[in-house]
Amino acid sequence: MTRSSVTWHGRLGLLALLLGGCAPRAYDAARTPPTEATAEGALAEVIADYERLDREIDPITAGQEDDLTALSRLPDVSPRALADYRERLTALRARLTRIEPRTLSEESALDHALLAHELDSALEGYTFDLEAIPFQTGEQGFHTLADYLARTTTLRTREDAEAWIARLTALADYYAQNVENAQRGIATGRTQPRLVVARVLEVAQAQASVPPGESVLLTPLATLPATVPAAEREVLQQRALALVRDRIAPAQREFVGFLERTYMPAARPGLGWRSTPGGEASYRYLVRTETTTSLTPEQIHQIGLAEVARIRAKMEDTIRASGFRGSFAEFQRMLRTDARFYATTPEALLEKASEIAKRADDRLPRLFGTLPRLPYGVRPVPRELAEGATTGRYWPGSPQLGQAGAFIVNTSRLDQRPLYELPALTLHEAVPGHHLQIALAQERTDLPYFRRNALYTAFVEGWGLYAESLGEELGLYRDAYESFGRSSYEMWRACRLVADTGIHWLGWDLEQARRCFSENTALAPHNIQTELERYVSWPAQALAYKVGELRLRALRTRAEQALGPRFDVRRFHDLVLLGGALPLDVLERRVDAFIASEQQVAPAR
């Protein structure tokens, strides 16, 4: 799962390459009827105003809820707009501060706490000017947002088509705004390293080389329904083609030139974020934001080392159970070279992923009381992104727009995509991982808009990693090799704690960071390189997975031990998921309240 580079702080968009007709949705009056004389009413007004601003800042997420005005817009990341957003968010925070949480109902107090967290995080993020780096990896940044939208946009009416054309009309200006932000990054010493820029340049060159008539940006218009007359469809398609040819393609070529002539020579020499101006304070901020904890980089590094040791012992046990007679390195070499562990065609890999996904679907009711209605599909990573893309990801769907979620599988370099890792990947990206968690939140229309669309990384990615462990309870790892693949994936996330803090806090080079992965996981060399480039480009994001999973596992253990035979895993999972994504400290309080409530229920006779 990833999110688009609308900005680096706050929840400002679905992710790519994770990322008007209706008025902005106000706070749900059925939950707390707003009256001006009450704290509940005051909170309702602040939430309604925040959500109105949030939809303005982030039209990508708003569009997923069938807001036609949002569907016609791209984010405005100009310095003028960013300054305006900061001023308005500051005013909202002041209004929220005047509301005493103790006067609110339990659910409203939770809304208050979450909104305070959102506002504080966003406002602190503005102080670091993170928008000055408008791209992370080759597939994650402003330059791929429109391509992602083209692949996930369904046009049902002529009005939808007009909204899409309006987005295309805005795209050249969106390029210009982000290039201006990148210029500011150059001026202030906040740039990506050369190896990251090289990957972004590869993707940008590929985009710029596509003939206008073959652009992916035309894809939505090719699927307009027959209810739109053929003559109108032709006019709409020609208007879009003219925009691609006359405005967008030139902007893409200019971006390539900017990367080659201006940005690459200014790319920062070191890998670590700490070496940038204000890097120490901003890395600490990013660690807090991504993990939603107060853990320091030093503490996280030590947690990573301890987890590496624990998981390595488990992997050694699995090797012995497999009957293999040889060293850990020899087992790694066998896994990386034995042809039986690799698909021979992209179609075979997709079919295998689909089969695992259906086995997981079949067993979900054992562990979950509530399941989403929204389905998901299994699709390949777009060909032009595959080389620099990770092994898989999830693209959220939209119940309102009739779009299924998508488990995206990288079908390039098949000799680097081992089948023994595929069950863990599928459980993480599809079910019971990202699709289950995100679709359930999307379907909670009784929650405020900002809560059902929250994307706290530690919760979302921590849940994805926790979901991999549920494969053991569901019986989805069928032999020692798949069990080893699951442990290898867990080790991968433990090594992230070591590598991310090593690179960005301790000043490691790429080879020092690579060692943990090459010595302790079965990951293919290409995957390791791709992952390392991602950690370099996106400081602290990779820390959220293991930190979140460890907290989720600890909270479940706490509930199991406190409740004993009263513990019901289906009720526990409903509690965790049906409140939407939460900061880890808020989730902990929610679980403690659940335990206290369950302890007061008389046991069944």
The DSSP result for 132-153, as a single string, is GS-B-STTSBHHHHHHHHHHH-
Which DSSP letter does residue 470 get?
A: H
> What value, to the nearest 5°, has the Cα angle with vertex 259 and ends 165 and 129?
80
- The strand pair at 376-380 and 392-395 is best described as unpaired
Assign 30 to helix, strand or coil: coil
Element (H, E) at 46: helix 39-57
Asked whether the beta carbons of 90 and 50 are under 8 A apart, the reply is no
3-state secondary structure 357-412: HHHHHHHHHHCCCCCCCCCEEEEECCHHHHHHCCCEEEECCECCCCECEEEEECCC
> What value, to the nearest 5°, has the Cα angle with vertex 223 and ends 217 and 225?
140
Tell me the C-alpha distance between 69 and 66, whole Å: 9
CA quadruple 549, 550, 552, 553: dihedral positive or negative?
positive
Asked whether the beta carbons of 495 and 305 are under 8 A apart, the reply is no
CA distances from 95 to 26, 46, 98, 222, 430 (A): 17, 7, 5, 47, 40
Give me the pLDDT at residue 602, please. Answer: 56
- The strand pair at 405-409 and 376-380 is best described as parallel
Beta strands in 137-244 (DSSP E): none
Asked whether the beta carbons of 279 and 272 are under 8 A apart, the reply is yes
Chain length of the chain = 605
Give me the pLDDT at residue 3, please. Answer: 37
Asked whether the beta carbons of 182 and 130 are under 8 A apart, the reply is no
**First-to-last C-alpha distance (Å) of the chain:** 44
Tell me the C-alpha distance between 186 and 342, whole Å: 43
Closest CA to 72 of 18, 22, 36: 22
| Half-sphere exposure in the Cβ direction for 188 (13 Å, CA) | 16
Which DSSP letter does residue 11 get?
A: S
Tell me the C-alpha distance between 289 and 283, whole Å: 10
Tell me the C-alpha distance between 352 and 418, whole Å: 11
Give me the pLDDT at residue 383, please. Answer: 83
Closest CA to 434 of 457, 412, 450, 411: 457
Assign 506 to helix, strand or coil: coil
Asked whether the beta carbons of 192 and 539 are under 8 A apart, the reply is no
Closest CA to 489 of 511, 502, 501, 472: 472
Which residues are CB-neighbours of 136 under 8 A, at least 6 positions away? 5, 192, 196, 534, 537, 538
CA quadruple 215, 221, 222, 223: dihedral positive or negative?
positive
Residues of the chain with pLDDT under 50: 1-36, 605
Omega prior to 75 cis, within 30 of 0: no
Tell me the C-alpha distance between 459 and 465, whole Å: 10
Determine phi and psi for 393, rounding to 5 degrees.
-165, 175
- Long-range contacts made by residues 297-303, C-beta under 8 angstroms, separation at least 24? 297/501, 297/504, 297/505, 298/501, 298/505, 300/497, 300/501, 300/543, 300/547, 301/497, 301/498, 301/501, 301/502, 301/505, 301/506, 303/497, 303/546, 303/547, 303/550
